[in-house]
Amino acid sequence: MWLYPGIIFSLGMLIPGKLSLKLQYDRDQVLHIMPETFQQVQHLQHLCSTLLLDLWKPPLPEDIWAGEDLHIRVPAPLVQEVKDSLDQHKISYKVLIPDVQELVDQSTPRERSIHREVPEGYVYTQYHPMEEIYQWMSEIQKNNSELVTQHYLGKTTENRTIYYLQISQPSDDTKKIIWMDCGIHAREWISPAFCQWFVKEILQNYKSDPKISRFLQNLDLYVLPVLNIDGYIYSWEKERLWRKNRSPYMNGTCYGTDLNRNFNSSWGSIGVSYNCSSEIFCGSGPESEPETRAVAQFIERKKSDILCYLTIHSYGQYILTPYGSTTKPPSNNEELMLVAEKAAAALMGKYGTSYRVGPTSLVLYNNSGSSRDWAHMIGIPFSYTFELRDKGTHGFLLPPNQIQPTCEETMLAVTTIIDYVDEKYLSGGAGMLTSSRLGLSLCLSVVLTWTIS
């Protein structure tokens, strides 16, 4: 690398004290297309595959369907060629993002204070690099030692330490657990921002909010603010739209595994790629990545105590239930849907933001190896993926001025789910829809119908 410094400097942006090849997205555009015919779908699949376009939604060309939204990022040199091709095939489109770099610049603060006062002076309405999140975690524990402990989870590919926070009121009993992780995909910056917001809200309000106070008496909250630490750092320092982790493959000629295709849940069966250059490369095997293994081994040890697994992503505005690899519903599907619908209604009540609810395979696209599916398959009864704002106007580049409203509304949804779980298992559960009650009611219905007939 050092043999050709002239080339390096011409390709990247030099930051003082650091050689940085920061990828620029000047005049790249994101197009919104909705194909209407099978022929249009075929052309779009061919276009995306041959030009290696960055598919934002859905992630694979074969998941492009007539009547379904397609979001693609087109590099500036190809914009006109792609638009001409769409016009020739009478495929209508609109420009969602006219200049990707402008949105990238908006989401990255120009000046950062390294010695920021934390957490009192911590700004929850802007995005933070990993160094500041590490510092925030340490300070949160130090300033709330009666409630918060920071724990080692594992190491990343690049040997960084993964920590989670445990929020727990002192108790002589072993308590049940709610797990929440953020930042499994590096470019989804709103996700770690929400995990931090969630912790802040719990700590600020657990004494005054009766709902939070009640469920904290019965439940421990385990929060992993950033799972894909290497990828997250890379998205700050090198390539804002990086998604995967940073594990090297093919002798270092390509990098990264999609950690949300790497769990041992129908691994590699559908909605993945075996090409290490792909955004949805599933790895060399289930749990091939140290980040995935760290989570999986920990959850396996604790699974009898974990009642709910929440994993936070963006974008699209969905609350997704299992499964992604099959349309066969889980055994407690009705209850999963009921709780998700309640959460979506609570979220909408804040700012009117609409979320779609349902199994991934039916409302979004097929995938395998996801953490949500894996958690449910090993026996955790409630398992959900949140896809936060928006629906594509900004996509993965949600501006900082949307952090607060996004987090406020998502907080209502998440606490609705936690409250339901607490009520069902730990606070009496008088009004809960349980699978046993549902089965009993169905049996009674059958008996009554038979008797009457």
pLDDT tens for residues 305-322? 999 999 999 999 999 999
**Rounded-to-integer distance, Cα 223 and Cα 136, Å:** 13
**What do you get for the CA distance between the two ends of the chain, in Å?**
82
Tell the burial category of 12 from Cβ atoms under 10 Å away from its Cβ (0-12, 13-18, 19+).
middle
Q: Which helix (H) or strand (E) holds 320?
A: strand 318-321
Is the pLDDT confidence value at 428 over 80?
no
Of 19-23, 140-144, 298-302, give the lowest mean pLDDT range: 19-23
Is the pLDDT confidence value at 447 over 50?
no
Which positions ≥6 away from 74 have C-beta within 8 Å?
A: 28, 29, 30, 31, 53, 54, 82
Calculate mean pLDDT across residues 147-152. Answer: 98
Q: Give me the helix-helix angle, 130-143 and 190-205, nearest 10°.
A: 10
Position 113 scores a pLDDT of 52
β-pair type (306-314, 382-388): parallel
Higher-pLDDT residue of 310 and 12 is: 310
3-state secondary structure of 92: coil
Assign 437 a pLDDT band (cuts: 50, 70, 90): very low
Position 127 scores a pLDDT of 97
For 414: left if phi > 0, alpha if psi spans -120 to 50, otherwise beta; the answer is alpha
Q: 345: number of CA atoms within 13 Å, CB side? A: 8
Position 432 scores a pLDDT of 55
Tokens 């909605």 sit on residue: 271
Catalytic residue among 387, 408, 409, 423: 387
Is the pLDDT confidence value at 161 over 70?
yes
Is the pLDDT confidence value at 377 over 70?
yes
157 near 230, Cβ under 8 Å?
yes
Backbone angles phi, psi at 289, to 5 degrees: -100, 140
Active site residue 387: yes
Looking at residue 378, what DSSP letter applies? Answer: T
Distance of CA 278 to the CA centre of its chain: 18
Rg of the chain in Å (alpha carbons): 23
Calculate mean pLDDT across residues 123-136. Answer: 97
Position 117 scores a pLDDT of 52
Neighbours of 238 (CB within 10 A): 14
Q: Dihedral (C-alpha) 63, 376, 203, 115: value to the nearest 10 degrees? A: -50
Assign 20 a pLDDT band (cuts: 50, 70, 90): low
Is the pLDDT confidence value at 442 over 60?
no
Instruction: Report H helices in 89-209.
Output: 100-107, 130-143, 190-205
pLDDT tens for residues 254-306? 999 999 999 999 999 999 999 999 999 999 999 999 999 999 999 999 999 99
Is the pLDDT confidence value at 129 over 80?
yes
pLDDT tens for residues 387-404? 999 999 999 999 999 999
User: Which sign, positive or negative, has the C-alpha torsion 258, 264, 266, 267?
Assistant: positive
Position 453 scores a pLDDT of 37
Calculate mean pLDDT across residues 165-181. Answer: 93
Position 107 scores a pLDDT of 86
Position 199 scores a pLDDT of 98
Instruction: Report H helices in 366-434.
Output: 371-377, 403-425
Assign 116 a pLDDT band (cuts: 50, 70, 90): low
Position 111 scores a pLDDT of 58
Instruction: Please write down the long-range contacts of 443-448, taking CB distance under 8 Å and 24 or more positions apart.
Output: none
Assign 10 a pLDDT band (cuts: 50, 70, 90): very low
199 near 144, Cβ under 8 Å?
no
342 near 420, Cβ under 8 Å?
yes
Calculate mean pLDDT across residues 225-244. Answer: 98
Is the pLDDT confidence value at 410 over 70?
yes
Calculate mean pLDDT across residues 120-138. Answer: 95
Is the pLDDT confidence value at 32 over 80?
yes
Assign 427 a pLDDT band (cuts: 50, 70, 90): confident
3-state secondary structure of 398: coil
Is the pLDDT confidence value at 91 over 90?
yes
Mean pLDDT of the chain: 89
Higher-pLDDT residue of 9 and 353 is: 353
Backbone angles phi, psi at 406, to 5 degrees: -60, -45
Position 173 scores a pLDDT of 84
Position 172 scores a pLDDT of 82
Of 19-23, 244-248, 273-277, 431-435, give the lowest mean pLDDT range: 431-435
Looking at residue 121, what DSSP letter applies? Answer: T
Of the chain, the percentage scoring pLDDT greater than 70 comes to: 87
Backbone angles phi, psi at 74, to 5 degrees: -115, 120
Is the pLDDT confidence value at 12 over 90?
no
Position 166 scores a pLDDT of 98
**Rounded-to-integer distance, Cα 195 and Cα 225, Å:** 5
Maximal CA-CA distance, the chain:
88
Assign 11 a pLDDT band (cuts: 50, 70, 90): very low
307 near 382, Cβ under 8 Å?
yes
392 near 284, Cβ under 8 Å?
no
**Rounded-to-integer distance, Cα 91 and Cα 404, Å:** 37
Q: Which helix (H) or strand (E) holds 302?
A: helix 290-302
**Rounded-to-integer distance, Cα 234 and Cα 89, Å:** 38
The amino acid that residue 80 corresponds to is: Q
